[in-house]
C-alpha cells in the first residue's frame, strides 16, 4: 500500500496474474485475465471488449502502451465501499506477449520466467500508457491517453485467475500445476491473494470443485466465482481483495456464481423491459434513425441504464428490431387493407356467378386484367413483390396486382365464388320465403311478425335464412301490402265519388256525413284491410275528404301526376313548338301551276282514268277555269306494294289522289287502301306540319247505263267519303259511252285545288286572342288524375291538328285555342283541359258551352268520378264522353273494360251525349275531327246554354242577394250567321250516321273477312272519324251534311234486354254491306228518341229547339221523398209553331227565363241511382218508393249481368252498314205508364202485434227474382215434410259449402256473382236433383243463393213476434242467465222455423270453427246473417237502437249452438263476447247521432256501385 500522509483516499495497486505463455503452454485462448480487468476498470458494456490478444508485433510491443513490458496498466478505479470509505484501485495485468513472427515471447528488460516476474511487488515503466483494447495498439492517438502514475507501482495484492471452463487444447491439471507454482511464488511476497474462478458462465463443475478444494487447502485464500462476459461477481472479487488490504472495511459476502448470475439476469431483464417500453413509447415511425432516437432519449434513466448494462450495440439491435416490427406492422396493415378491399373489388369486377363459377384463379386474374375499369382498382408495379418496393410508403390505395399471386389472393377469390353461390342461394330462399308470405293470405297490413311467424316456421326457406333476413323479407312484404292496401283504399275512396262529391266546395263534412262515410266504407274489404292501421286509414280518409272539399293542384293526392300540372307542362312545351313549326308554311295554292295526281283503282280502272285525263289534255296540260295546269299522272293498282311504303310520297310528291271504283268490291278495296296509306303516311311523317293528302272518290260510269247497283254504289260511296273525310264525285245521271266524263275530272281537280287552298288557310297561324271572351265556344275537357294514360293522348286530337294555338294570357296555362271551320265559317274554340277536381269550381261559377269528359276504361274510380261530376252538370250543356283504353281488342278480351265502356255508352245514351274511344296504342294520330260532331252540337246549343247560365246566375243573384251579379260573358259572335245557318233538306236527311260505338266511331264490331287479315297485323286500325268538309255552295252533291237527328219514328217497345242474336245480326249486316232500313217516319216529334246522338234535322232546327217535350226529369219530391214526373211547363206534346228570329235560335229569352235548369242526374237512371244509392241506405226513414222505378229496373236488368250476349250497341263502320239497336232506346210514354202502375199510395205503419197478427213490412220484400218460381219465395211449411224437416235446397247448399268452402276466405261476407246465384236457383227450380259439384259453381255464389233463399221467404226465419223478447234478453248483463232466457225464447219458434233455424245455426257454428282460414268468426257471421234471419223494419228509427243487440243475439246462437239445440254445455267465450254494453237503455241516444247504416241484404250488398249497363 502506498503511504499517504495527507487526507487523500488511499490507493492500492492490484496485480492480476494467471496462466500465460505460448499457445503450447496456455492453449488457444487465455484464462480471462484481460476480460476480468476490462470489466472491472470499465464496467459499461460499451467499454468492455471481449477479445484481447497477447500475440503482438514488435512495433506494437514496443509502443507506449506495452512499452516493451510483459504487463499492462489498465488504469485506476475509484471505489466507494458500503461503509462510505473511498479508495482508488490501480489495476496491473501480468501477462506474456508473443511475437507474431516467431511465436516466442518478446524480449524485454526483465528476462525472468513468468512465475517469478508475476510475483514481483515493484513495477516500473516510464511513460507507459493505460491499455484500453487491442485496437488501441498503434493508434494510441485515437484513444484516451493516460500514463501510469510516476512510471512505477508497488503491488499491494494479487488476483489469481483460474479458468474453470473446458478450455481450448488445455488441461485443467496442467493449469493447476502452473497455478500451484505461481501461488508459491506469490505467497512469498506476503501480499493478500484472492482466487478468481473465471469463465464460470462456461464452467465445468469438476474443475470448479477441484478449484474449491485447492482454495480450501490454502490458508487465508478467498474464492470468487466470476464471469467477465456476464459481469457477475467481478466487482465482488476486487472488493474482497480490498477488504484484505484495508482491514477497516467490512468483509463482503461471498456469493456463489449461480445466485449472483440470477440476480444479474433479473437486473438485465428489468432494464431491458424498461428500455423496450421506452422504445415503443417514443418510436412510432419506422423511418426514424438510431441517431435521432439516441439523441432524443439520452439522459433518460431507462435509456442510460440499458446502454450501460447492455451497451449501445445491443440497444441499437433492440431499436432495429422494433423498427422492423413497425415496418412489418405497416405492411401487414396495408396488406389487410388490400385483402379487405379485394372482396369488394372482385364483387365489382367479377359479380356474375355464371361467368366465374368454373374459372380457375389464373383465368380469373386474366379476366380481371381485361376489365375496362381494371386501372381503377389495381396497380401494376415495376418492382415486385410489392412489400419490398416503394409502394408500401405510397399513398396510392389501389391493390398491387402481384398481391393476387399470393395464396391469400386465391383464398379470397375462392371465398368470393362461394359467397356468390351462398348469396344466390340466400336470395333464392329469401324470394322463396317472400312467395310463401304472399301465399299466406291472412297476413293483414300492419300485422306484427310475431303473429305470423308461427304459421311459416315449417317452411324450408324460413329455416334456411337467418332471423334478420326473415324480418327483412317480412318488413318488405309488409311495406308492399301496406302500400298496396293504402293504394287500394285510396282507389276505393275515388270509386265512392258520389259519397264525397255531394257537398259544395269549401264545405266541412258534418258528423252525420262522417258517420255515413264510415258506415258505407265499413262494408268494403279494402276499408277493413287497414283495420290494424286504423290511424293511417283515418289519416288517409281525412286527407281525401280535405282534398274533396278544398281541391287544388297543390293538394292533389296524385302529387306530380296531377292532370293540371301535366297539362301545363305538355302545353308549355308543345304550343311553343307549334309556334316555331309554323315558320315554314305550306306554299300558296294560287301559285300552283303543276299538279301531281295519283290515280288509285282496281283491275285497270286507274289506267283507264289516266287515259281519259290525257285525252282531255294537250301535251299533259289541262285547262281549268281559265288557267293552264301541267298534270303528272301516276296510275297505281290497289294491290300494288308501292302504296304501302312512304317512299313513293317523297319521290312523286302527289298533290291529290283520285280513287276510282265501279263495284262494291272495288269500293271496299279503295276504302281499306286509303286507310292504310294514311296510316303509313302518318307513321312516316317527320315534318310536323306536312300537308295532308287530299283524296277524291270517283264513281266510274256503268256503260250499260241501267245497272241497278248504281244507287247503292252512289250511297255507299257517299258514306265512305263521309268516313274518310274526302270529296265524292258522282257519275253522270244519264247514259254515257265512256266510264269517266270531263265534268268528273274537272270536279275532282277543283276539289284538289280547294283542298290545297284550305290546307294553306289552316296552316296559317291563327290570330292572337288577347281576350278570352272573343272565343266563340268554351269547352272544358276533364280527366281523372292517376288514370293509366298519358295526357298527351287526350291532347293529341288538338295538338296534332294544324289549327291549334296558344291561348295568349300566361294565366291560361292549361288552355288552347282551336281556329276551326265549324259549319260554313271559321270558329274560335277555347279548350281548357282540367282535372275533375279543378273543373268542379269551373262547373259552378263559369260559363261552359260543352264538356268533354274523359275516363279510363281500366279504372272504376275514373268512371265513378265522371258520374259524380256529370250528375251535377246542367242538362242543357252538351257532353262528349271519351273512354280511354289501349286498343280496340280490349273491349272483347277484358270483361272489366267492356263493362266500363258499356256503362259509359249507356250513360251517354240516357243523356243524349256523344261517346267515343281513344286508344293509347293506336298508330294513327287522331285530330280534332274526332270532336267535330260534338263541336257542331255545342255550336247549335250555345244559345240554350248561355240562356240557362243567365237564368241560373239570376237565380243565384236572387238567392244570395242583390249585391252579387251573375257572370255571363257573352260572345261577340253570338249573332253571327254561323248560328243561324241551316242546311237545306236533302234526300239523305232520313239517313244519318249511327251513334258512336262504345269502342270508338271507327271500330267494327265484327271484322269482315277482308278486315281480319288486317286485324292480325294491327289491332288498332287506322280509320278516320266522321266529319263534314263542305267544298262550296254550288257543289251540293259533294257536301257531307253534319250528323242530324233522324226524323221521328214509330214508338218502340221498352226493351229490357239485348236481343241474343244481335251479334249475328250486326255481323250479317256488315257482310251484306247494306244498312238496315229504318222505320217509317212519324209526324209526332215527341216520339223521337232522346238517347240518339244526332243533331236535329233542318225541319226540327227551325222549330223551338229549347222546348223538347222529352224534358221529363225525374226529381225527388221534397214532401213525400218519392220520384214524380215533371212535365215541361212550356208546352204540351207539340210546342210552338211560330216563326221569327228568336224562334230560329231555338227559343225566346222570355220563355227560357221561366225554365228552371235541371241536372243530368235527373235524366239518367244510372246517374240518379248512383247519386241516391247512399241516401237510400242511410236515410231509412224516407219513403221506400223514393227511387222505386229506377231501383227495380236496375235489379231486373242486373239479373242478366254476366251474360255473353252483350254486343256493342252501334256498328262501327257507318259506310259499310249498321242497325238501330232497340236495346238502348226507351219510350217516354211507356215508361210513364209503367211508373204510374207501380206507384201506390203510402200506407201508415202499423204497430207490432202478437204472433197472430200480420207481421210488419219487411225491409227487403221478395222482389229480387225476375222469374216465376214455385219453390223460392213460398212459406217454409210448403217446402218441408215430417220426413224431411229441412228444405232440400238448404241441405244442398249447406252440404256443398261444407265440402268445398270451409277454406274460402270471407265465406258469406264476400258476395258471389249475382248471375251465378240466379242460375243456381233456376237450375234447382227445373231439377231438384241438380248436383252443385257437377255445376262447378263458386262457393260464394252458393252462399249468396242460400242467403237469398231466406231473404225471399214471406216471413223471416226468426218471427217478428219474438224480436222484442230477444232484444230484452240481450240486455241481460249476466251471461248464463241471458243464455237461459234465450233458450226459452227459441223454444217458442214455430216447429218448422225451429228445425230450420237449428240446422242453419249449427252450420254457421261449424263455419266459425274454421275462422283461421275463412276469417269468419261468429261475430262476422252474425253481422252477415242477422238481417237475413230477422229482416227488421229499418224504416223505423227505433231499429237503429237494437241493431247491435240483434246481432249479439244471433252471435250468441252461433257460439252456443250446442247449448241451445243439442243439450251441450255452455261453450267457453271471452268475457266481452256477447255481453251488452253497460247502460243498454241509453243505446238509442248513443247511436242516433252517428247515423249508423243498417246492414243490407246480401243481394243488395253485392254490387252497390255497379250500374246495370242494359237498363
CB atoms within 10 A of CB 966: 15
Torsion sign across C-alpha atoms 1407, 1412, 1415, 1419: positive
**Residues 182, 159: Cα–Cα separation, whole Å:** 12
From CA 465, how far away is CA 453, in angstroms rounded? 13
pLDDT at 775 over 50: yes
User: pLDDT at position 1395, please?
Assistant: 93
Mean pLDDT of the chain: 75
Does residue 769 have a pLDDT over 50? no
Q: Mean pLDDT over residues 93-100, rounded?
A: 90
Give the residue with greater pLDDT, 128 vs 975.
Answer: 128
Q: What is the pTM of this model?
A: 0.46
**Lowest-confidence range among 257-261, 822-826, 1294-1298, 1464-1468?**
822-826
Average pLDDT over residues 917-928: 67
Phi then psi dihedrals of residue 634, to 5 deg: -130, 90
Question: What's residue 101's pLDDT?
Answer: 87
Convert the pLDDT of each residue in 689-698 to its tens digit: 456 788 899 9
Q: Is the peptide bond before 385 cis (omega within 30 degrees of 0)?
A: yes
**Please, how many CA atoms are within 13 Å of residue 314, restricted to the half-sphere of its CB?**
18
Q: First and final CA of the chain: distance in angstroms? A: 148
| Range from 286-290, 820-824, 874-878 carrying the lowest mean pLDDT | 820-824
Tell me the CA distances in angstroms from 391 to 329, 331, 368, 380, 397, one per residue in order. 15, 10, 21, 10, 9
d(CA 1310, CA 1424): 10
Relative to beta strand 850-856, strand 777-783 is parallel
Do 1235 and 1245 contact (CB within 8 A), yes or no? no
Chain-centre distance for alpha carbon 789: 18
* Lowest-confidence segment of 398-412, 783-797, 958-972 by average pLDDT: 958-972
pLDDT, tens only, 447-480:
899 888 888 888 888 988 999 999 999 999 999 9
Of the listed ranges 552-561, 652-661, 1149-1158, the one predicted with least confidence: 1149-1158
The helix/strand/coil state of 1098 is helix
For residue 228, give every residue at least 6 positions away whose Cβ sits within 8 Å of its Cβ, in sequence order, or none: 32, 35, 36, 38, 39, 48, 198, 199, 234
Full DSSP string of 85-105: -EEEEEEEEE---EETTT-SB
- Local confidence band at 773 (pLDDT 50, 70, 90 cut-offs): low
The pLDDT assigned to 878 comes to: 94
Read off the DSSP letter of residue 445: T
| Spatial CB neighbours of 852, under 8 Å, sequence gap ≥ 6 | 779, 780, 781, 782, 831, 879, 880, 882, 931, 934
pLDDT at 1100 over 60: no
pLDDT at 1509: 35
Quick one: average pLDDT of 101-129?
86
**pLDDT for residue 994 is more than 90:** no
Record the cell numbers describing residue 681, joined without a space: 303516311
At residue 157, φ and ψ (nearest 5 deg) are -165, 165
pLDDT digits 0-9 by tens, 11-43 = 899 999 999 888 877 777 888 899 999 999 999
Picking from 1371, 1315, 1375, 1376, the residue whose alpha carbon sits closest to that of residue 1340 is 1315
Name the DSSP class of 1267: S
Give me the pLDDT at residue 503, please.
59
- What value does the mean pLDDT take over residues 383-396? 84
Look at 31-45, 422-436, 915-929, 1291-1305 and tell me which has the smallest mean pLDDT.
915-929
In the predicted model, what is the mean pLDDT of residues 1450-1479?
Answer: 71
Q: What confidence tens digit (pLDDT) does each residue in 1204-1221 have? A: 333 333 333 333 333 333
Q: Report the SS3 class of residue 157.
A: strand
Going from the C-alpha of 42 to that of each of 37, 231, 271, 979, the distances in angstroms are 8, 11, 19, 134
**Span 73-97, average pLDDT:** 84
More confident residue, 1403 or 1180: 1403
Q: Is the pLDDT of residue 253 over 60?
A: yes
How many CB atoms lie under 10 A from the CB of residue 1184?
Answer: 17
- Band (1426; pLDDT cuts 50, 70, 90): confident
Give residue-wise pLDDT tens across range 1306-1320. Answer: 899 887 888 888 889
Which segment of 557-571, 629-643, 837-851, 980-994 scores lowest on mean pLDDT? 980-994
- Which of 460, 422, 87 lies closest to 247, judged by CA? 87
Alpha helices by DSSP H, listed for 764-881, are 791-799, 836-845, 860-871
What's residue 571's pLDDT?
Answer: 86
**Cell reading at 511:** 258528423
Better pLDDT: 252 or 85: 252
Percent of the chain with pLDDT over 70: 71
The pLDDT assigned to 1068 comes to: 45
CA–CA gap between residue 220 and residue 5 (Å, rounded): 29
Cell 225464447 found at:
1385
Contact residues for 1143 (Cβ-Cβ < 8 A; gap 6+): 1102, 1103, 1104, 1136
Mean pLDDT over 160-187 rounds to 88
| Percent above pLDDT 90 for the chain | 20
pLDDT value for 1262: 44
Three-state secondary structure of 1418-1466: HHHHHHHHHHHHHCCCCCCCHHHHHHHHHHHHHHHHHHCHHHHHCCCCC
CA–CA dist 1210, 881 (Å, integer): 16
Report in angstroms the alpha-carbon separations of 970 from 775, 850, 1147, 1156: 10, 15, 17, 20
Complete DSSP assignment for 33-73: HHHHHHHHH--SGGG--S----EE-HHHHHSTTTTT-SEEE
Amino acid at each position: 500500500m502506498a503511504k499517504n500522509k495527507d487526507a487523500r483516499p488511499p490507493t492500492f495497486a492490484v496485480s492480476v496474474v494467471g496462466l500465460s505463455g505460448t499457445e503450447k503452454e496456455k492453449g488457444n485462448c487465455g484464462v480471462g485475465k484481460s476480460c476480468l480487468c476490462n470489466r472491472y476498470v470499465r464496467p459499461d458494456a460499451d467499454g468492455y471488449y471481449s477479445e484481447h490478444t497477447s500475440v503482438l508485433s514488435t512495433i506494437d510491443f514496443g509502443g507506449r502502451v506495452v512499452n516493451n513490458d510483459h504487463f499492462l496498466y489498465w488504469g485506476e478505479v475509484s471505489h466507494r465501499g458500503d461503509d462510505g470509505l473511498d479508495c482508488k484501485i490501480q489495476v496491473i495485468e501480468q501477462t506474456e506477449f508473443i511475437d507474431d513472427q516467431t511465436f516466442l515471447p518478446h524480449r524485454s528488460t526483465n528476462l525472468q520466467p513468468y512465475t517469478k516476474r508475476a510475483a514481483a511487488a515493484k513495477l516500473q515503466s516510464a511513460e507507459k500508457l493505460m491499455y484500453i483494447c487491442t485496437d488501441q495498439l498503434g493508434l494510441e492517438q485515437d484513444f484516451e491517453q493516460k500514463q501510469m502514475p510516476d512510471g512505477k507501482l508497488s503491488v499491494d495484492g494479487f488476483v489469481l485467475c483460474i479458468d474453470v471452463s473446458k478450455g481450448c487444447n488445455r488441461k485443467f491439471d496442467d493449469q493447476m500445476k502452473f497455478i500451484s507454482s505461481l501461488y508459491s511464488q506469490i505467497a512469498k511476497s506476503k501480499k493478500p491473494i484472492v482466487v478468481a474462478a473465471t469463465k464460470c458462465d462456461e464452467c465445468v463443475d469438476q474443475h470448479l470443485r477441484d478449484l474449491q478444494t485447492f482454495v480450501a487447502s490454502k490458508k487465508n485464500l478467498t474464492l470468487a466465482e466470476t464471469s467477465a462476459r456476464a459481469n457477475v461477481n467481478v466487482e465482488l472479487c476486487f472488493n474482497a481483495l480490498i477488504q484484505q488490504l484495508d482491514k477497516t472495511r467490512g468483509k463482503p459476502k461471498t456469493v456463489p456464481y449461480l445466485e449472483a448470475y440470477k440476480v444479474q439476469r433479473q437486473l438485465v431483464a428489468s432494464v431491458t423491459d424498461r428500455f423496450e417500453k421506452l422504445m415503443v413509447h417514443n418510436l412510432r415511425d419506422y423511418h426514424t434513425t438510431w441517431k435521432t432516437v439516441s439523441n432524443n432519449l439520452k439522459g433518460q434513466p431507462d435509456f442510460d441504464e440499458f446502454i450501460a448494462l447492455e451497451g449501445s450495440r445491443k440497444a441499437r439491435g433492440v431499436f432495429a428490431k422494433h423498427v422492423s416490427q413497425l415496418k412489418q406492422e405497416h405492411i401487414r396493415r396495408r396488406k389487410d387493407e388490400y385483402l379487405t378491399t379485394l372482396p369488394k373489388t372482385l364483387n365489382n369486377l367479377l359479380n356474375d356467378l355464371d361467368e366465374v363459377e368454373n374459372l380457375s384463379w389464373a383465368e380469373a386474374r386474366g379476366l380481371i386484367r381485361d376489365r375496362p375499369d381494371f386501372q381503377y382498382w389495381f396497380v401494376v408495379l415495376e418492382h415486385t413483390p410489392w412489400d419490398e418496393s416503394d409502394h408500401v410508403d405510397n399513398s396510392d390505395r389501389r391493390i398491387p396486382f402481384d398481391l393476387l399471386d399470393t395464396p391469400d389472393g386465391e383464398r379470397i377469390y375462392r371465398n368470393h365464388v362461394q359467397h356468390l353461390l351462398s348469396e344466390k342461394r340466400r336470395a333464392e330462399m329469401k324470394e322463396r320465403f317472400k312467395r310463401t308470405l304472399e301465399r299466406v293470405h291472412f297476413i293483414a297490413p300492419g300485422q306484427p311478425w310475431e303473429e305470423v311467424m308461427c304459421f311459416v316456421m315449417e317452411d324450408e326457406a324460413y329455416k334456411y335464412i337467418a332471423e334478420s333476413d326473415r324480418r327483412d323479407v317480412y318488413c318488405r312484404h309488409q311495406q308492399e301490402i301496406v302500400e298496396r292496401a293504402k293504394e287500394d283504399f285510396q282507389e276505393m275512396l275515388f270509386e265512392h265519388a258520389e259519397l264525397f262529391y255531394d257537398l259544395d266546395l269549401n264545405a266541412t263534412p258534418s258528423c252525420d256525413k262522417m258517420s255515413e262515410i264510415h258506415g258505407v266504407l265499413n262494408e268494403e274489404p279494402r276499408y277493413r284491410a287497414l283495420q290494424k292501421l286504423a290511424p293511417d286509414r283515418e289519416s288517409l280518409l281525412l286527407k281525401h275528404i280535405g282534398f274533396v272539399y278544398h281541391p287544388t293542384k297543390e293538394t292533389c293526392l296524385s302529387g306530380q301526376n296531377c292532370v293540371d300540372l301535366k297539362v301545363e307542362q305538355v302545353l308549355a312545351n308543345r304550343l311553343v313548338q307549334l309556334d316555331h313549326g309554323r315558320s315554314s308554311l305550306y306554299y300558296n295554292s294560287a301559285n300552283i301551276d303543276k299538279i301531281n295526281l295519283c290515280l288509285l283503282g282496281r283491275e285497270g280502272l286507274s289506267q283507264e282514268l289516266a287515259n281519259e285525263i290525257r285525252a282531255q289534255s294537250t301535251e299533259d296540260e289541262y285547262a281549268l277555269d281559265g288557267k293552264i295546269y301541267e298534270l303528272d299522272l301516276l296510275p297505281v293498282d290497289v294491290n300494288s306494294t308501292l302504296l304501302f311504303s312512304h317512299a313513293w310520297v317523297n319521290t312523286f310528291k302527289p298533290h291529290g289522289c283520285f280513287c276510282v271504283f265501279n263495284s262494291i268490291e272495288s269500293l271496299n278495296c279503295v276504302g281499306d287502301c286509303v286507310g292504310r296509306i294514311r296510316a303509313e303516311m302518318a307513321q312516316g311523317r317527320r315534318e310536323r306540319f306536312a300537308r295532308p293528302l287530299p283524296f277524291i272518290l270517283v264513281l266510274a260510269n256503268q256503260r250499260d247505263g241501267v245497272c241497278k247497283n248504281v244507287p247503292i254504289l252512289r250511297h255507299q260511296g257517299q258514306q265512305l267519303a263521309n268516313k274518310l273525310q274526302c270529296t265524292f264525285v258522282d257519275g253522270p245521271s244519264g247514259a254515257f259511252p265512256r266510264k269517266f266524263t270531263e265534268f268528273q275530272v274537272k270536279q275532282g281537280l277543283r276539289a284538289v285545288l280547294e283542298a290545297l287552298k284550305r290546307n294553306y288557310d289552316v296552316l296559317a297561324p291563327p290570330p292572337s286572342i288577347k281576350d278570352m271572351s272573343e272565343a266563340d265556344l268554351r269547352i272544358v275537357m276533364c280527366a281523372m288524375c292517376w288514370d293509366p294514360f298519358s295526357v298527351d293522348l287526350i291532347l293529341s286530337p288538338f295538338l296534332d291538328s294544324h289549327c291549334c294555338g296558344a291561348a295568349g294570357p300566361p294565366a291560361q296555362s292549361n288552355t288552347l285555342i282551336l281556329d276551326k271551320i265549324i259549319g260554313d265559317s271559321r270558329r274560335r274554340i277555347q279548350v281548357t283541359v282540367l282535372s275533375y277536381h279543378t273543373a268542379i269550381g269551373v262547373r259552378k261559377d263559369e260559363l261552359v258551352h260543352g264538356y268533354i269528359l274523359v275516363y279510363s276504361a281500366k279504372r272504376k274510380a275514373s268512371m265513378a268520378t265522371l258520374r259524380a261530376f256529370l250528375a251535377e252538370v246542367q242538362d242543357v250543356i252538351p257532353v262528349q264522353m271519351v273512354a280511354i283504353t289501349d286498343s280496340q281488342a280490349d273491349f272483347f278480351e277484358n270483361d272489366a273494360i267492356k263493362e266500363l265502356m258499356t256503362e259509359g255508352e249507356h250513360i251517354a245514351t240516357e243523356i243524349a251525349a256523344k261517346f267515343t274511344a281513344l286508344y293509347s296504342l293506336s298508330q294513327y294520330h287522331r285530330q280534332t275531327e274526332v270532336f267535330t260532331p260534338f263541336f257542331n252540337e255545342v255550336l247549335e246549343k250555345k244559345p240554350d246554354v248561355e240562356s240557362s247560365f243567365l237564368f241560373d246566375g239570376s237565380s243565384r243573384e236572387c238567392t244570395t242577394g242583390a249585391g252579387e251579379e251573375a257572370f255571363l260573358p257573352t260572345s261577340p259572335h253570338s249573332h253571327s250567321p254561323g248560328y243561324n245557318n241551316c242546311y237545306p233538306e236533302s234526300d239523305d236527311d232520313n239517313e244519318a250516321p249511327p251513334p258512336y260505338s262504345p269502342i270508338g266511331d271507327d271500330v267494327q264490331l265484327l271484322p269482315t273477312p277482308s278486315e281480319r287479315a288486317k286485324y292480325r297485323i294491327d289491332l288498332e286500325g287506322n280509320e278516320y272519324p266522321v266529319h263534314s268538309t263542305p267544298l262550296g255552295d254550288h257543289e251540293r252533291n259533294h257536301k257531307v251534311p253534319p250528323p242530324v237527328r233522324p226524323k221521328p219514328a214509330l214508338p218502340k217497345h221498352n226493351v229490357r234486354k239485348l236481343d241474343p242474336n244481335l251479334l249475328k245480326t250486326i255481323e250479317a249486316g256488315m257482310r251484306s254491306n247494306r244498312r238496315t232500313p229504318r222505320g217509317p217516319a212519324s209526324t209526332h216529334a215527341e216520339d223521337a228518341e232522346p238517347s240518339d246522338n244526332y243533331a236535329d234535322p233542318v225541319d226540327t232546327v227551325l222549330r223551338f229547339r229549347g222546348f223538347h217535350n222529352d224534358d221529363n226529369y225525374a226529381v225527388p219530391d221534397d214532401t213525400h221523398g218519392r220520384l214524380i214526373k215533371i212535365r215541361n211547363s212550356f208546352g204540351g206534346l207539340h210546342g210552338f209553331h211560330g216563326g221569327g228570329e228568336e224562334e230560329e235560335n231555338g227559343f225566346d229569352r222570355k220563355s227560357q227565363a221561366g225554365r228552371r235548369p235541371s241536372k243530368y242526374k235527373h235524366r239518367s237512371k244510372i246517374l240518379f241511382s248512383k247519386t241516391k244509392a247512399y241516401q237510400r241506405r242511410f236515410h231509412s226513414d224516407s219513403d221506400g218508393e223514393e227511387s222505386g222505378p229506377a231501383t227495380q229496373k236496375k235489379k231486373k236488368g242486373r239479373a242478366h249481368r254476366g251474360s255473353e250476349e252483350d254486343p256493342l250497341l252501334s256498328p262501327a263502320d257507318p259506310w259499310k252498314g249498321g242497325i238501330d239497336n232497340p236495346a238502348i232506346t226507351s219510350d217516354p210514354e211507356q215508361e210513364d205508364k209503367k211508373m204510374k202502375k207501380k206507384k201506390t199510395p203510402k200506407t201508415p205503419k202499423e204497430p207490432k202485434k202478437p204472433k197472430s197478427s200480420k207481421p210488419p213490412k219487411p225491409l227487403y220484400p221478395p222482389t229480387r227474382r225476375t222469374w216465376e218460381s214455385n219453390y223460392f219465395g213460398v212459406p217454409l211449411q210448403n217446402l218441408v215434410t215430417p220426413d224431411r224437416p229441412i228444405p232440400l235446397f238448404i241441405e244442398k247448399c249447406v252440404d256443398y259449402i261444407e265440402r268445398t268452402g270451409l277454406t274460402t276466405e270471407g265465406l258469406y261476407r264476400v258476395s258471389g256473382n249475382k248471375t251465378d246465384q240466379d242460375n243456381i236457383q233456376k237450375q234447382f227450380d227445373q231439377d231438384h236433383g241438380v248436383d252443385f259439384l257437377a255445376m262447378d259453381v263458386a262457393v260464394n255464389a252458393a252462399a249468396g243463393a242460400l242467403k237469398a233463399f231466406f231473404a225471399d221467404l214471406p216471413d223471416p226465419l226468426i218471427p217478428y213476434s219474438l224480436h222484442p223478447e230477444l232484444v230484452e234478453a240481450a240486455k241481460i248483463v249476466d251471461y248464463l242467465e241471458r243464455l237461459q232466457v234465450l233458450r226459452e225464447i227459441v223454444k217458442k219458434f214455430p216447429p218448422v222455423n225451429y228445425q230450420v233455424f237449428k240446422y242453419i245455426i249449427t252450420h254457421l257454428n261449424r263455419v266459425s270453427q274454421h275462422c283461421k282460414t275463412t276469417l269468419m268468426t261468429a261475430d262476422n257471421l252474425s253481422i252477415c246473417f242477422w238481417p237475413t234471419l230477422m229482416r227488421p223494419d229499418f224504416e223505423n228509427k227505433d231499429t237503429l237502437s237494437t241493431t247491435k243487440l240483434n246481432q249479439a243475439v244471433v252471435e250468441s246462437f252461433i257460439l252456443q249452438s250446442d247449448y241451445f239445440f243439442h243439450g251441450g254445455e255452455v261453450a267457453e267465450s271471452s268475457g266481452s263476447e256477447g255481453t251488452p254494453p253497460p247502460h243498454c237503455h241509453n243505446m238509442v241516444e248513443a247511436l242516433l247521432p252517428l247515423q249508423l247504416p243498417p246492414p243490407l241484404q246480401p243481394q243488395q250488398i253485392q254490387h252497390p256501385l255497379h250500374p246495370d249497363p242494359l237498363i
